[in-house]
Structure 1
């Protein structure tokens, strides 16, 4: 690993062969103390000499997201073959880059044991993919099944499905297309709900900071099983195409609707669809979509409802349109530099206009 190669990698100018060299170094050498010291030293030197071409600490995450996104685009629509495993762990290496004051690459090869019993079914060979902010991630499994991961989502899955089931663990949101295999059900595990399918297309929404797990069925059939406090599974029921089911773990309530499901799955096509949604619901989706904190200070404003569709729109364009449609104003709170050299998340205040 040389300084020149590191510069080319950070500027996305590596050839395929050079990229393999970087990945090999990340895989084999980056955990040693000598390699870490070399890496930080070279980063300082590069940052000093190539300041105009390299990002500062505040924008380094954006570069990481672009690298991660490019890796997944390169793998998109390719049939499954052993070589896919290379891009899988390469994506993983990109997904867990650390960004301290002196940002550098460290690839974590060891697996961290999980405390939750839902993780016990996966083996030490399991892989974990994270979809960074600002990009969606595509994964093809060993059986030909596929999933799109939404912003900020995480999926853990085995390199190869063995046993009587095909199991993955989802944190966040994923759009699944499952290869038909009646002898081996495909199970998407979330913290509070399991979704079992044989061969079907469905969406699962299960972000950990939301007290809700939602499933939308596009085609085929799925079974929903909730987990009790004793970790026993209790069947909620089967879904039919065009059905959207929301489950609230805190209360055990189940809500079901049927018909217009586009708003729940349009994210994979870069669309934000709102249909009679409250400003609170819109703020929650915008916060996750654009990685910002949005706070609504007026209780009455929270109940304003909107119907709109946005396709790849900048955040502040959307906010301006929301402002034009209802008596609200918004303002930005300047980002603050944190003790570790990174910056706080962008914050936006929405208030009622008098």
Structure 2
């Protein structure tokens, strides 16, 4: 049967160590066949054959890998592939099944039931976790969390941006994992920004205390209120600075506040908030960094008019459901 053929192909790649380039091509091939029913059947068979039980660490790695896979629209030279067989099986399984993997995992004996909560563009949402922690999730973000915190830590996995108001429990630290850093707290309030398309992963402490560790070195950093840690996702450098945490988290109330922010990052934020697609020549605006504030009641037309004024010699037009920015002489 066809699924046996696919199963043999996939199994070879999960059981043997191939070159990084070959594995990269395999992942890309798999992503292009993710709607193939026979491939999906093969994934289910491989998953069911693995005797290993899922641990908290496995789930953390799954969340990291999911973020990486989501960004792989085309083959790239730099691809990290997990060499633990259970994680490899889970990786390809996760590529085919997004939210449904959570349901699948919850049916396995002695395993933790996880939920994936995704907030679409144009919206923000508040949720309360099982321990009483309140999370405000920004547009275009996704949070994976257990229905019950049964382990020694309270671990969640974030892609995007969210404010965490952590319920106090000294015996169970609360950990927010992202693709590049993890933030550890006992009872506190902080903001984490970890959008895949941004160059940096940023943590802002509102109150309490957090400890931050990146995924590439043993060092850790403790923040005090109104401090912000900026982690460069490319060169892994860290910047600590004093800021106004209230201003940095005003997105929760509908404000957009940009202070010396790159034009490309502003555009991405506006796209998420208003659920629009904005096309422009990024190279033409690469040198622009803007200081601007938008109130909750300002329309997308208001925002675009201001942005075009700030960049000078630019105007915008609406074409179907897209906004196009172009320069004018």
Q: Shorter-chain TM-score: which interval?
A: 0.5 to 0.7
**Matched positions, count:** 227
What SS does structure 1 have at the residue aligned with 2:218? strand
- 1:303 maps to what in 2? 288
Mark the runs of 5 or more structure 1 residues left unpaired by the alignment. Answer: 1-106, 115-121, 336-345
- 2:297 maps to what in 1? 312
Shift of the 125–223 alpha-carbon distance from structure 1 to 2, 3 Å rule, reads same
Deviation at 1:111, TM superposition (A): 2.9
Shift of the 330–223 alpha-carbon distance from structure 1 to 2, 3 Å rule, reads same
Alpha-carbon contact 1:133-1:151 (below 8 Å) kept? yes
Q: Which residue, 119, 134, 137 being the options, matches 2:122?
A: 134
What SS does structure 2 have at the residue aligned with 1:307? strand
Alpha-carbon contact 1:279-1:306 (below 8 Å) kept? no
Q: Which moved more, 1:261-270 or 1:127-136?
A: 261-270
Shift of the 213–112 alpha-carbon distance from structure 1 to 2, 3 Å rule, reads farther
- 1:164 maps to what in 2? 152
- 2:243 maps to what in 1? 259
Mark the runs of 5 or more structure 2 residues left unpaired by the alignment. Answer: 1-97
Distance, in Å, in 1 between the alignment partners of 2:294 and 2:318 is 26
Residue 187 of structure 2 corresponds to residue 199 of structure 1: yes
RMSD across aligned positions (CA):
2.6
Distance, in Å, in 1 between the alignment partners of 2:142 and 2:297 is 23
Q: Which moved more, 1:288-297 or 1:238-247?
A: 288-297
What SS does structure 2 have at the residue aligned with 1:234? coil
Please list, as runs of the form range in 1=range in 2, the aligned pairs for 1:11-30 lying within 5 A after superposition.
none
- 2:276 maps to what in 1? 292
Distance, in Å, in 2 between the alignment partners of 1:193 and 1:200 is 18
Q: Which residue, 236, 239, 260 being the options, matches 2:223?
A: 239
Alpha-carbon contact 1:222-1:238 (below 8 Å) kept? yes
Distance, in Å, in 2 between the alignment partners of 1:235 and 1:301 is 32
Structure 1's consecutive aligned runs of 4 or more residues displaced over 4 angstroms after TM superposition are 107-110
- 2:26 maps to what in 1? none
- 2:102 maps to what in 1? 111
- 2:71 maps to what in 1? none
Alpha-carbon contact 2:190-2:206 (below 8 Å) kept? yes
Please list, as runs of the form range in 1=range in 2, the aligned pairs for 1:267-282 lying within 5 A after superposition.
267-282=251-266
Distance, in Å, in 2 between the alignment partners of 1:209 and 1:175 is 19
Deviation at 1:274, TM superposition (A): 2.0
